[in-house]
Amino acid sequence: MMNDSRGDAPETTRREALRRAIVGGAAAGFGVWAGPRFDRVARGDEPAVDDRALIIRNLVPLDAETPPTSLGGWITPNDLFFVRSHFGAPAAVSDRWTVSIGGLVDRPIALSLADLDAMEQVTLPAVLQCAGNGRGLFRPNIPGIGWARGAVGNAEWGGVRLVDVLEEAGLQEGVRHLHLLGADLPPHPKTPAFLRSLPREKAIDPTTLLATRMNGEPLPGLHGGPIRLVVPCWTANHSVKWLREITASEEEAPGFYQQTGYRIPREQAPPGSLIEDQDAELIPVTAMNVKSLITAPGDGLRLGAGPVEVSGVAWTGPGRVESVEVSIDGGPWRPAALGGPDVEGSWRTWSMSWDAPAGSHTIRSRATDSQGQTQPDQSPWNKSGYLWNAIEQVDVEVS
């Protein structure tokens, strides 16, 4: 839903045009799936009328984030989960979908959905977060999808352990990496495929899943259905959607998206630096860093004076969230109460009561994890806009 005062066309006409554009794009390039309700979208330069609207950052392929005020629960509903697509979903999905496991294995296999359903099923909660979540907050500005805070969500994923599938295929001793290829096709023959790889030790982690379900439902096409990888604690570029091929290898996957993309300088660079200007080693983006998000009150909200619940969510990579602290107007950091199940790879909810006086106020939050990492005042700048995790802040007016 949108509120557009920049022209004289009726509001309903604009909303319907955007809805039709998205649905038309889906029919043309994404296939048919159960996804977000397209009557609840807002363009990135416009506020959503209600906070259950995805914010569109790119239309074709669809990239959309969740307003922070919709992320306050322990589980993010499927229709409010952020969408990230490199090339868009395959044009056709059927029950005959298979995932092949080949390369350096003793028994190359191809598993259908029925084959996977016949294996031991597991369910686990896990945060998926785009590596570029927060790119739009870096200064100076960074080219790319201008994600703010909502390219993240926490869901319960169901499927089979990747290690069980790899054991069935028989990984050979020299395997160090698993190459991962989805069915999303590049738009041009010269465009590199979205080919990624996962180190063997992460692939055989029992929490790494071939997921076929999301929050108790068949995995929606927008979120990688019918089969995607889910790699808890690592950025979501590892959780390849529409998975078709797994190839065991001694080497990392070749190609742009593994060897060039999703890499950052090992040493922090001055803001605005070009990677080409640095005599720096580039390392892959892997684990998420510690982060908190204020989901209530919303940024820019007007509140009545008196008791206010400040709340949000917090997550990290390997390890657990140990604490969340809140500061009002630069005052001392006060501990918030943590809630929700404490599961590695998932997030925690948190809350704190604040007796809000009249005036303009700034609320800040920071999380600390079991590795001793605390959100910094400034997130280390990098040319690609990855891994933003500066202290969270919202401004409110109280009267």
Percentage of the chain modeled with pLDDT above 90: 79
For 377-396, what is the mean pLDDT? 96
pLDDT in tens, 286-303: 999 999 999 999 999 999
The residue that leads in pLDDT, 42 or 342, is 342
Which pLDDT score is estimated for 276?
Answer: 53
Please, are residues 253 and 177 in contact by the beta-carbon 8 Å criterion?
Answer: yes
pLDDT above 70 for 249: yes
pLDDT above 60 for 8: no
Q: pTM of the full predicted structure?
A: 0.87
Which pLDDT score is estimated for 343?
Answer: 98
Do 213 and 141 fall into the same domain? yes
CATH code of the domain covering residue 329: 2.60.40.650
Do 387 and 278 fall into the same domain? no
Do 280 and 365 fall into the same domain? no
Do 240 and 389 fall into the same domain? no
Do 225 and 310 fall into the same domain? no
The domain boundary residue, chosen from 237, 253, 284: 284
Do 79 and 192 fall into the same domain? yes
Reported confidence tier of residue 44, pLDDT bands at 50, 70, 90: very low
User: Hey, what amino acid is at 73?
Assistant: G
Range of the domain at 362: 291-398
pLDDT in tens, 196-213: 999 999 999 999 999 999
pLDDT above 70 for 330: yes
b/e for 291-311, b at 16 or more Cβ within 10 A?
Answer: bbbbbbbebeeebeeeebebb
Which pLDDT score is estimated for 274?
Answer: 66
The domain boundary residue, chosen from 284, 311, 339: 284
Do 173 and 85 fall into the same domain? yes
The domain boundary residue, chosen from 242, 266, 284: 284
Do 112 and 215 fall into the same domain? yes
Number of domains in the chain: 2
Which pLDDT score is estimated for 46?
Answer: 37
Rg (CA), the chain: 21
Do 74 and 174 fall into the same domain? yes
Do 265 and 315 fall into the same domain? no
Sign (positive or negative) of CA dihedral 230, 184, 94, 75: positive
